[in-house]
Each structure stands twice: as C-alpha cells, then as structure tokens.
Amino acid sequence: MTNRIELSVKRYHPENDQQPWFESYEVPLRKEWVILDALNYIKDHLDGSLTFRWSCRMGVCGSCGMNVNGVPKLACATFLTECAPGPVRVEPLKNFPILRDLVVDISDFLMKLADAKPWIIRKVEKPLEEEYFQTPEQVEAYKQFSMCINCMLCYAACPVYGLDPLFSGPAAIALAQRYNMDSRDQGAGTRMDILSQHEGIWGCTFVGECTKVCPKHVDPAGAIQQYKVTSSIEWLKSLVLPRGAE
C-alpha cells in the first residue's frame, strides 16, 4: 500500500532499558493527520505501551511538544504530509530527562518558571471595587509575550540550556518580561535581581532558535535581548544615581 508512512519513534522504558532505542511503525498517510493522530493510531492499533503527553489537539495546551526530525514541534500542529515520504523521526523534547518514551521530566522548567515570578506584583493593591485600566498601546507592549503556552519547544531548541542546565531559559525570561512590560505590574526590580544573574539573561548567547521554533510567535530571544538592554541601563543608572535608581 502506498499511502502509508513510517514513524521511527524513540522508546525508553526505565524498568528495562539502560538507554533509549528506536522502534518503527507504519501508519496511514492521511492529508488531514498530524503527528499526534499518527501516535494515537499507534497506541490504539499497534502498540498500547507507547507513552506520550497530549491534551487539546489544537496548539493551546502545550502538552505535545516533541522533536520531529530533529526539530522541536507541537505534534498536534505538524502534518504527516509535511514529513513525507518519511521515515519520520519522533523523539522526546531534547535537553530534558526522559521519563518514558516521549514523556520528559519538566520539573526543572516549572521551578525556573516560578523563579521568574510570572504574575502581577503590586507594591500597593487597589481596593477590589477599583479597576486597573490599560490603553490598547499598554496591552500591545506585552501581548506578544503573553501568548506563551509553556510548551518548552524553546528549551529543546536552546543549546545553552542543553549545555548549562542552570540557565533560566527562554520561556521563563520571556514570561518575566511579559509582566515587566505590563503597566499594572510593579515587580520588575524583584525579577531583575533573579534574572540579571549570569544564569539568567546573561547566559543567553543569542542563538535565536527559541524564537524560530516558538509555535505562538512569542519571540523569547527578543525578550531576552530587550531585558539585557534594560538591565544594562539599570546598572548604569545605579552607577550614576546610586541613591535614586528606582
């Protein structure tokens, strides 16, 4: 049968395997099928033990990130026809420990995300009955960075994170910048203390691949470089105006 495509999927079962290995499956090549459909076909019809994360099927939840032919992609947004004639190499997201098959351990990312304090920090809260108004321009300033779905494709594309696991990483910094740019937020100084360290923004060598693989066009590389500019200005201010840099 010609309308079929081969998927070479990385497998790892911690109870038996010392290291991962590849297993090949042949699935129908349908023009409306994405990689996730092919993986679900394998799980339903060929091998029920294949393990992978997924949820929304529509590029919103950020669960199904994996390396497809070496490039980090959302399995629900990558059509099989894009990868034809195959074989298609499907691997877990690079730079993360593999727990089982295509499932990676994301605890490190979750810790880094919390360190970046991605929420609105206020020095003084307004009373509940009052609103925080924003102009369209103020929303536009951070909107792009707010589109992040925490899919971690940027971490899989970032060689700096692969080489130095202490690096805060693209998404955490982009989300910190999302709140720094928000006119309602007053926590930029707190975040700066954490992210202006070497393992924060200065760890980034501007490879730029995080931005290329981002399915939501967040541009984490841009966020980090803009953060570097802000950090440098703040440092200069603290030299010139040691008492009044705030």
Q: Which residue's CB is nearer to another protein, number 28 or number 165?
A: 165
In this structure, are residues 197 and 119 in contact, taking their beta carbons and an 8 Å threshold?
A: no
Binds another protein (CB under 8 A): choice among 58, 128, 131, 136: 136
Q: Which residue's CB is nearer to another protein, number 212 or number 216?
A: 212
Q: Which residue's CB is nearer to another protein, number 40 or number 95?
A: 95
Q: Determine how many CB atoms are found less than 10 A away from the CB of residue 239.
A: 9
Whose CA is closest to 179, among 206, 211, 214, 141?
141
Structure tokens at 182: 């928000």
**Can you tell me the distance from the alpha carbon of 43 to that of 180, in angstroms, rounded to the nearest whole number?**
43
Q: Which residue's CB is nearer to another protein, number 78 or number 226?
A: 226
Q: How many residues does the chain have?
A: 246
Interaction pattern, residues 41-80, with another protein; x per rule: CB under 8 A = -----------------------------xx---------
Whose CA is closest to 219, among 227, 211, 209?
211
Interaction pattern, residues 140-179, with another protein; x per rule: CB under 8 A = x------------------x--xx----------------
Residues 204-221: b if buried by 16+ CB within 10 A, e if exposed: beeebbbbebbbbebbbb
Q: Would you count residue 97 as binding another protein (CB under 8 A)? A: yes
Structure tokens at 71: 């490039």
Choices 45-53, 98-106, 109-117, 122-130 (CB under 8 A): range interacting with another protein: 98-106
Choices 40-48, 50-58, 111-119, 223-231 (CB under 8 A): range interacting with another protein: 223-231
**Can you tell me the distance from the alpha carbon of 234 to that of 216, in angstroms, rounded to the nearest whole number?**
30
Binds another protein (CB under 8 A): choice among 53, 73, 178, 228: 228
Q: Determine how many CB atoms are found less than 10 A away from the CB of residue 114.
A: 11
Structure tokens at 14: 């911690």
Residues interacting with another protein, by CB under 8 A? 12, 14-15, 17, 19-20, 70-71, 94-95, 97-100, 105, 136-137, 140, 159, 162-163, 205-209, 211-212, 219, 221-222, 225-226, 228-229
